[in-house]
Amino acid sequence: MIKIYIDGQEGTTGLKILERFEGRNDIELIRIADEKRKDPAERARLINSADYVFLCLPDEASREAVSFVDNDHVRIIDASTAHRTNPGWAYGFPELSPEHREKIKTSNRVAVPGCYASGFAAVVYPLVKNGIIPADYPVFAYATSGYSGAGKKAIAVYEGDDKPYEFNSPRQYALSQQHKHLPEMQAVSGLTHKPMFNPMVCDYFSGMVVSVPIQTRTLNSSVTAKQVHEMYAKHYEGAKMVEVMPLMSADEQKSFFLASNTLSGINKLQVFVFGNDEQILLCARLDNLGKGASGAAVQCLNIMMGIDETAGLV
């Protein structure tokens, strides 16, 4: 029986991971007493008694937890931003490439991608990898997200009786271009410069869309929307948790609305190609709590265990 400990099991991601383990009989969950959740000695003891440890913690607490490990067999899956750009850690997005999948499979240290970064990398990594945009292309991205990704305090405000009037509207934030996912978005996608990023938190619980517009006149060689779509279809061929959606005609796009909450509660990411041969709009839709957090973490665990990667997720 595989022993699993979640450090930070009372947070949003930790609770969602626990939900995804319901009904599984191939793992044993190690629990920490409520009064000892912040006791370093007890946390260290439980970490080293487990086979796999999920870290659902702030960055500094995550780094501290890794320092507790003194048992070579302990495999860490970190859901914080602390190690996502560390080359010594596997990046937990197996669909990006066979190399990413193999590193997850064999590594003892896996960093779960950020939710926005997952959507961004899903569309930008293949563009750079396949030479459609150069590594120094000035990439811009915008995104809409449910409020669940903002943390417990924000959730309480959104769901409270005294919700401020402004919270009824999409709210742009990270306007200083210092969002914590930016280094990850750049490094993982192979860009030489940080992208510009305009995220918006909206008045619905979970789900997100990350969008990247491309003006084809700025590219070094001509490319059509159909060619870009074919590239994605080939890149993600056989992927179980990433789906490239059908290319729509101009008339179909006129009457189509892309909702951000459609995949709420579903552990899948969808890639869309919209627009035309002059202006291509690339979108990734996912659940910020699913493929963008806890679902991705459990998928990595399954791969590390050598079992069906969708176990507990579909």
- DSSP-based helix, strand, coil % in the chain, nearest 5: 35, 20, 40
- Nearest C-alpha neighbor of 80 from the set 44, 106, 56: 56
Neighbour-count burial for 115-125, b at 16+ CB within 10 Å, e otherwise? bbbbbbbbbbb
CA gyration radius, the chain: 20
Residue 303, classed as helix, strand or coil, is helix
The residues annotated as belonging to the active site are 115
115-129 vs 182-189: helix axis angle to the nearest 10? 30
Residue 307, classed as helix, strand or coil, is coil
| CA angle, 218 then 140 then 113, to 5° | 130
Residue type (1 letter), 250: A
| C-alpha separations of 47 from 41, 52, 70 in Å | 10, 8, 9
